[in-house]
Structure 1
Amino acid sequence: MLERRSRKDGIEVTFVLPREDPPGPVSVVGDFNDWQPGIHTLQPRKDGKRAVTVALPAETTQFFRYLAAGDYWFNDESTEDRDGANNRLHT
């Protein structure tokens, strides 16, 4: 699930997943971090989910996926906008 919040210079996107599904550490990787795992690792929240927030510039298109332990790549099921194997996010 994605949560969005406008900023004066762009948008903050919070990437949210259940705490244990999939198990182990999960990173969101994409254009905004040069597809480098571990830069944006989801952390536990008080509501029982895990999340990470990324600041993105306005009026751009970003592509992303999640990477879990064991080299398990997957998409955000709440986002239907895709380009091939990747989620597409318009800011």
Structure 2
Amino acid sequence: MISSFITYLQCELNYSAHTVDAYRHDLEEWACFATSGNMDELDTASVTVSDLRLWIAALAQKGLSPLSLRRKVQSLRAFFRYL
């Protein structure tokens, strides 16, 4: 699912390689968090807003800058809009 979104960003929206790589990294990081490391079991239909907030809160506790957090939220927002 993430790979088809990445292809969409590259081919349909013509996003820069840097942006595509950042989105890929953010989404894979989130998927790893959401599935406890087993991204093959990702079920986007069962994801709740609370799940997403939990991930963002965990990143904030690690000391990520507000700008980085904003980009990660944007990556998730674009992905779920795509779905």
**TM-score computed with the length of structure 1 as normaliser:** 0.27
**TM-score computed with the length of structure 2 as normaliser:** 0.28
Which of the two has greater helix per residue?
2
